Structure formats: C-alpha cells, structure tokens
Chains A and B, each alone.
Chain A
Amino acid sequence: MLFDLLKKNPTFKHGIHPPQFKEDTRDKPIRHFPFAPVMIVPLAQHIGKPSVPVVSEGQEVTRGQLLARADGFVSVPMHAPASGVIKKIGRVPSISGKMVPGIFLEPFPGSSQEVLEGKPVKVESATPEEIIAAIQNAGIVGLGGAAFPTHVKLKIPEGKHADTLIINGAECEPYLTTDHRVMLEQAPDIIMGVRYLLKATGAARAVIGIESNKPDAAENLRKHLPPDLPLSVQVAEVKYPQGAEKMLITAILGREVPSGGLPIDVHAVVVNVATTAEIGRLLPHGRGIQERVITITGPGIRKKGNYWIPIGTPLRYILEQAGAEEDINRVFMGGPMMGTAVSSLDIPVTKGTSGIVAFRDEEARKKDQKIYPCIHCGACVDACPLFLNPSRLGILAKFKEYHTMASDYNLMDCFECGSCTYVCPSHIPLVQYFRMSKLVLRNEKAKAPHV
C-alpha cells in the first residue's frame, strides 16, 4: 500500500504545468446539439488528398450518406452530417483563412435525422485489411486534433511490427474535457474499438494512457475491461504535453521515437481514445462519421459543456447556441496551447476540432504582453520535451537562419507544443517563430526542382 503511494506515475522529462481550467466542463454529460440552418463540409478535413464529391447540387441526401469519396490511400471520404439538400459545391471558408473546396448542405427542418446504415464489418470475421478499409470508408481521422487518417497508421509497413497499441486518453490540453467525457460515457464503444484496432495492427496488447487528473475515467474503464482482451489502463502524471504521441510512448513504454521517425519504429501505434470509440461505434453498423464530441468552454461562453456536434456546423451558430458573451475577442479551435485562434466565425467545425475555447477582452489582453529580448535564462530549455534549445532556435529564426535551425538544432523534430512560448519570461512567441520557419523550409523544398 505504502509502496503504491510512493510510486510515481510514469511520464516524460521536461514539460510544463499550465493551469487546467477543466473543472467547468468535466462533469457535464455529453449533450446533443441542434442542426444549423446551413452546414459547411470542407472536402479536406484531414491530412492528405481532399475527397472527391459524388453528389450534385440540388440533390437530396440522407444523414450519413456518402458526400465525397476518398482520393487514394492517404485520404478519407466525407459523409452527410444531416439529411437535407446539397445547396452548392464550391469553395468554403476554412480555418487557414483560405477558401477551400467544400459542400454547402441545407438540413431539412423537422426531419427525423436517422442515420443511414451501411454494410456492417464484424470484428470476429473481418480480416485486418477489411478492418483498415472499413475505417477508411467510415471517414475516420485522428479526433485528438491532428486529423491524420487513422487507417494509414494502422497499416503496418513491410518489415515492421507493432507490439503495443496505445489508446491516448491523456488529454493534457487545458480546458478540453472531450476525451474525459468519452471515457466516462462510451467505455463499451472504446472496448469495441480496441478489438478492431488490435486485430488491424496485430499488436499483442493495448494500453489506455490517462493523466492522473481523470481518476474517474480510469476507474470506469477498468470496470469495463473484458477478461478476454489484453487491455490495461495506465495512469500517467499530469504534465503538458503528456498527450503528444511521442511523450505518451515514452511515459508508457519507456521508448523514444527516433528523430524523424514514427511510433511504429518503436513498435507502437497510438490512437486517440475518442477515435477508438468512434471506430467501435461506427464499424458494426457500417456507418460513416457525421458528428463528434466537442468541448465548448472558456470565459466567453455561458453554456459551457460537452456536445455532440454535427461536422460542418458553422462556428458562429455554435457560439450563438452556447451563449457566447458579446465581447469575446479570441476564439480557439482546439485548446489554447496547440489549437488555432480563428480569424473568422464563418468557418465550420471539422473532424479534427476537439474544442472551442472563447476568451473575452480581459483574458486576451493579459496575453498581449510586451516582448523583451531573450535574456538566455534557459526556461525554454528546461521546458522543451524534446530537449531542443528554443532560445537558440528563436535567435536563429530572427536572423532567418532557417537551414541552420533544421540542420544543427533539430527544428523539424519540434511538434509545436508551445511549452517554450508558455514559459518565456520575455514573452517571445517562440513556437510561432518555429511554425513559420518550418513553413518557409517546406515551401522551399516544394519549390526546389526535383533531381
């Protein structure tokens, strides 16, 4: 007993402890959300090639019906978030600020909104290939925020193997309680999802990783663990960015993903817990994903909570329904650490949107602090979970030494967790510098003639 108390939860080195702000929504059960008068469905809500529309303007569709098919392997299809009529196929506003290809859909008012069923894929009889194909057909991407097509990482490359499947329920991002609620309310779906994932990857065991600030979620999942499944629950220390793929692998398996490599290089596959639940829920019915759980919170929201929100619901409609204050002036999609501050409210939520956090005047103003020069204090060096030197990288970025940043200081390893920016006493926007530097390098590479 005493031994257990002394034993610390596993974690990674460095990292930060930002305030959690989860108490406003962690106890709020997931509730359904009304359909917006117009839905906006971008064709690329994932990393990879955009999907190709299979419907035409004016056509009536049923909720869950295929709207656009996947274009190749690294791509996923889109399904109708509501029964309604296709108003227009063209360009829609997106979070990047650009107009992107997409579909406007007008839901039928008062329709029963029953979801279309497809061909079920049974975990007992399906082959790994069939499961991987079914996950792609269901349009599933990483719901934790990265929106990478899940089936792509389940396809184990030739010559490699997975020994452990890690289900990521860390949810280290402040404010967000999406995964927390999913673990409390959808345990059977998660277990079913794990069955599919284990079969697809061939991994010998699965571990659900949860930060210790969600003991109720860990307990609930432990209660549901079936005796026939090599599945366990591992509680990890509360520390940001514990939910980053690499950090969670290190905490649970003690392995380091090699620089430039993937989890499979250390025989691990990591899937977000809400994604897992979605797989467990959709595949037995052959359905496609048409809604997701989103935490709507922040000081600028009156009806804070966790909601099932149809994919494609415009942000403006969500804020209206959730009772946003008049004076909100900063809205994040995702959390405040790794999410994106939006430039327009006319963009829709997409498959990767895990939270909507709205701030009012005073909170945002506190953030706009004066930037001082780097005084070499080393706080960022102590915070970086990858042991990079953000101070040096920041100075190099200022002098546009992008190539040195990548070649000598491992810029490309940075996954933009923002810990350095968070701790910087001089308020230097380090992670923003790095994002921009990486973009410059990527654009350069894309432009360079191929030899």
Chain B
Amino acid sequence: MRNVVYALLPIAAYAVYTFGLSALLLLITALIACLLTEHLLNHWIGKESPLGDWSITITALLYGLTLPPHLPLWMVFVGGVIAVALGKFIFGGLGYNVFNPALVGRAFIQAAFPVAITTWMAPFLPDRFSHIPSSTLTLPFLKPVYDITSGATPLSLMKFEHRATDTYSLLMGMTSGSTGETSALLIALGGLYLISRKMMNWRIPLALLGTVYLISTVLHWSNPDIYPTGLFMLFSGGLMLGAVFMATDMVASPITPLGATVYGIIIGIMIYVIRVWGGLPEGVMYAILFGNAVSPHIDNLIRPRVYGTGKQWSKS
C-alpha cells in the first residue's frame, strides 16, 4: 500500500506549493490526528499497532487533501479523529470498513462546520510561504476569522454565476479548491502509476469518469447555456481525486470486474445529479459514500457464473 502514498506525494507537494503554509500545516495535522487515533485505539483494545500497513497514512493524506487549505486546524484534528474512529475502527479496522474513512471525516466536517468547509482561499497568494492565515490558527471551538483573499471554486462559479473555467487552468491546478483537488493532471498521473503497478482497479475510475463525461456531453449538446461541457465536469472540483483515489478504496468497493463497473457508473450518475440539479456545487463525496453503501449489495447481486453452473456447457 506504500505505492498509494507514493502516488499521493506529488499531489500533496503541489498543494503546498499552491496554498503555502496553511496546506502544509493542514496535512501535518491530518496525519497526526489519524495516526494518533489509530495507534491509541488499537493500543486500547490490545492490538498490535497497525501503522505499519500504511493504510491509515493513505486515509490521513486523502482526508487532508479534500479539505479547504485554510480550514482551522482544530477542525482538521476533530475530523481526523472521527474519520479513524467512526469511519474505520468501530467497523473492525482494516478490511471491515463500509465507507471510505477519509470521506467519513470530511462528511462530519461538512455537517458540523458547513461554512468553514465551503470557504475557499485564492491560490498562489504572494505571501503564502510567510503568512499563516488567521483562520488556520483559530482556537478550538471559536469561529474562524479570515484575513486573506478568498477564492471561488470553478464549480461554484459555474453553479452560481455560470462562468466556466478553462480546461488548462483546471488541469494544471491554477484554481481555488480543496487542498489536493486542483491539479487534475497530477491526480491522473498518480492514478496511472497505480494502475501500472496493478494496485488499482482501473474499471472504477474509467466507468465513473466515462459516465460523468457522457452525461455532461449529451446534455451540453442539448443546451450549452445551462449545462457545462464534459471536459469542465471532468477536471473541476473533487471528481478526479474522488474517482482515482477515493472510489477505488478496495475495501469499500465491489470485488468483481462487472460489479466495479456498475459501481463506477452509479457514482458517476450521482455526482452529476448532485452537481447540476442539487443544492450543493459539489457532489463527489456524497456520491462515493452512497456508492460505498451499495457496494456490498452489488457484490451480492452481481456474481460471476461459477464454473459448471447456469448456462449449459457447449453441446458436443
């Protein structure tokens, strides 16, 4: 699983480059919160510390990368504890979690701190390596105060102002957004690396991205004024990060090739519905959590035909 960490490192490094000290502190806090929780909980029930399997490091990085860069650190910490405790530990630890733990943590933040998690900072601020945003250092249980230029994500620009961002900016990560979601290109490269190492089921991102692209392209043709283009939908927001690194969590996704494809399509449809017709500008997180929830049912329903059963063997 160390390979997943390798695939995430360039994304994390680029995030720090884009958003500066706030992103760095956020990722470190997420790591401390998740690793500490995992270690202490396992110590509590007398299990050997599972930090060596790297799975919680992946969870921590993914969790951090889905948060706004200047989210107050105490919120990051609380969400990290929730991600591990409620997303993973209570289900029985590695291999038994129903939902992607990183997204459980993020969903908690979304519910508990709806304003903080939808406030974005502008990328490439000139003083990002010298100035820590005041919101980052907010004391626990206090409301954050923002002292830096805020930004709007491409998706909210699209939803509320009908302004599309160009594909190049989306690919290269020139926009505002969650810490690790801005550069679609780096994420895609990380995914290709994992696929080449056979560490990822490529059917899931392919089915998911394909579905989103197909629906948005068809609808865009039908009415370009209302519906954004397929490319915009693909490269904006958390879609790339979600499709490549979140939906592919092996534990919470179906085990058969066909099941994985169906799962990807379901998540793709959900994302489109939430983004375009829902109240929120972004729907990747809820769509994947929904996909996780139906995943066991997909495995129950879609099973490969066992050798020598069903369809009769070819007659001789």
Contacts and interface: CB of A to CB of B under 8 A. Distances in A.
A410 B306 contact: yes
B314 A255 contact: yes
Contact of A266 (B201, B306, B316): B316
B307 A256 contact: yes
B253 A413 contact: no
A259 B308 contact: yes
A378 B95 contact: no
Contacts of B260: 378
Given A373-B95, A376-B250, A255 B313 contact: yes
A409 to B, nearest CB: 9
Contacts of A438: none
Contact of B253 (A256, A261, A376, A382): A376
A391 B254 CA distance: 11
A258 B306 CA distance: 10
B53 A267 contact: no
Given A375-B251, A378-B256, A389-B255, A246 B307 contact: yes
Interface of A is mostly: loop
Given A163-B316, A253-B316, A258-B313, A381 B306 contact: no
B148 to A, nearest CB: 40
Contacts of A388: 306
A229 to B, nearest CB: 21
A377 B252 CA distance: 10
A413 B251 contact: no
Contacts, number: 80
A257 B253 CA distance: 32
B93 interface: yes
A205 B180 CA distance: 65
Interface string A365-378: 00000001111111
Given A376-B250, A381-B255, A386 B314 contact: no
Interface string A403-424: 0000000100100000000000
Contact of A386 (B256, B303, B307, B313): B307
A107 interface: no
A256 B94 contact: no
Most buried by A among B250, B256, B305, B306: B306
B96 interface: yes
Contacts of B55: 375
B306 A413 contact: yes
Interface in A234-282: 246, 250, 253-261, 266-267
A387 interface: yes
Given A375-B94, A375-B250, A413 B316 contact: no
B255 A256 contact: no
Contacts of B96: 373
Interface of B is mostly: loop
A372 B53 contact: yes
Interface residues of A, number: 33
A392 interface: yes
Determine the interface band of chain B, counting residues with CB < 8 A from chain A. Answer: 20 to 34
B95 A392 contact: no
Given A378-B250, A378-B255, A389-B303, A256 B95 contact: no
Contact of A374 (B95, B201, B313, B314): B95
B250 A387 contact: no
B126 interface: no
B306 A386 contact: yes
B309 interface: yes
B313 A259 contact: no
A385 interface: yes
Contact of A373 (B93, B303, B305, B309): B93
Interface in A86-124: none
B251 A376 contact: yes
B305 A372 contact: no
A267 B316 contact: yes
B53 A410 contact: no
B255 A386 contact: no
B308 A413 contact: yes
Interface in B250-273: 250-253, 255-257, 260
Given A256-B308, A378-B250, A381-B304, 8 more contacts: A163-B316, A258-B309, A375-B250, A378-B260, A381-B256, A382-B257, A389-B299, A392-B255
23 contacts: A246-B307, A256-B307, A257-B307, A257-B308, A259-B307, A260-B308, A266-B316, A373-B94, A373-B95, A373-B96, A375-B55, A375-B250, A375-B251, A376-B252, A376-B253, A378-B256, A386-B306, A386-B308, A388-B306, A389-B255, A389-B256, A389-B303, A426-B95
Interface of B: 53, 55, 93-96, 201, 250-253, 255-257, 260, 299, 303-309, 313-314, 316
